[in-house]
Each structure stands twice: as C-alpha cells, then as structure tokens.
Amino acid sequence: MLFIIFGTKVRHQVIGEGQFFCPKCQSQRQYKHKKASRYFSLYFVPLIPMGKLGEFVECQTCGVAFEPTVLQIRGPVRTRHQATSTENLAQIINSIPARLNRGVPVEYLARDLTAAGVDRDVVMSMIEPHLGGRGKTCAACGLTYAASVSACSECGELL
Ligand SMILES: [Zn+2]
Ligand SMILES: [Zn+2]
C-alpha cells in the first residue's frame, strides 16, 4: 500500500543581514532579515510556497525577532547624549584658565565640572594649576579666585 506523506511546513528565507541596534541587547548586533513562507511539502520536501507568513528581523545574539521597522532605529539616544556631554566636558576643561582670569570663582568652575561628571577629587587638580599660586579668597563672601583677579565678581570686594 502506497501512502503519501504531505503537510505544510514553514521555511525561513534570509533576505538580508547586517548590523542593527537591538532593542533587547541595547547595542549594535548582527541581524538576519528573514521571510517566512509556508510550503506545501511532499515527503518532507518543500514544494510549493503557500503564501507569505511575514518578515522579521532576528538578532543573532539574543535570538529575539522584531518587526522589520526595527532596522530604522538609528541607535540609542543615550550614545548621542554621551558624545555631547564629552564634548561639553572638553569645552569646560579647556575654558578653565580663561574663566579664572575673567574672574569666575573657583567654586563656580568646580560646580560646572562636577555637574559635567568629573569626580570631586579630580576637579581641584584640574583647577589648581591655573590659579597662579594658592589663589585669593574674598574676605567678604569666601569665594576663591585666581591670583590674577583683583576684585570679587560676586560682591565687588577688592582681593
Ligand atoms: Zn539582541
Ligand atoms: Zn566676594
């Protein structure tokens, strides 16, 4: 007696691959863009495509499948923020001598550097070399200035 084994079976066809930002891994990963089709099979040999089941993008690291629109995500906004703050930080550090000479108190520079993510211990070692000796302290308000500054920019007191 002859009997025929047939059925349908899903096949995944790779239609593209490359690098994408995986929302699960939160980083750049290798992906495979796959298309699923149902095939009519005879003796387990795929014969006729029975229609598209859909496309998906699969992360090769975590294995999670995403809508193909995931490929339009350019990457985390976080990375852009980090880049910006690194630029800001470089600007803040570069402007330390000029700001000190312009009469900006050490305390304000220290506040800006700390806000930009510099460690408190490191902040003073960045400012001190530009003070010109030990710097000056305003007798009236207690703010610290570079030796080149002649008057407190906060209260006008002569240093
Ligand atoms: Zn992933
Ligand atoms: Zn003062």
The tens digit of pLDDT for each residue in 101-121 reads 999 999 999 998 888 778 887
Residue 35 resides in a domain: yes
Residue 59 resides in a domain: yes
pLDDT band of residue 8 (cuts 50, 70, 90) is: low
CA distance 48 to 35: 15
Residue 154 exposed, middle or buried by CB count within 10 Å (0-12, 13-18, 19+): middle
- CA of 86 relative to ligand 1 center, distance in Å: 27
Is residue 149's pLDDT more than 50? yes
Residue 68 resides in a domain: yes
User: Closest-lying ligand to the alpha carbon of 103?
Assistant: 2
Is 63 in the same domain as 106? Answer: no
pTM of the entire structure?
A: 0.48
Structural domain total, the chain? 2
Query: Considering only CA atoms, which of 36, 34, 38, 33 is closest in space to residue 7?
Result: 38
CA distance 94 to 37: 59
Is 13 in the same domain as 61? Answer: yes
Q: Is the dihedral of CA 123, 129, 131, 134 positive or negative?
A: positive
- CA of 28 relative to ligand 1 center, distance in Å: 8
User: Closest-lying ligand to the alpha carbon of 105?
Assistant: 2
Are 48 and 73 in contact, with CB atoms under 8 Å apart?
no
What does the DSSP 8-state code read for residue 95? Answer: T
- CA of 38 relative to ligand 1 center, distance in Å: 26
Q: What percent of the chain has pLDDT over 90?
A: 38
Boundaries of domain holding 131 = 95-145
- CA of 109 relative to ligand 2 center, distance in Å: 16
- CA of 67 relative to ligand 1 center, distance in Å: 13
| Chain mean pLDDT for the chain | 81
CA distance 66 to 56: 6
- CA of 100 relative to ligand 2 center, distance in Å: 15
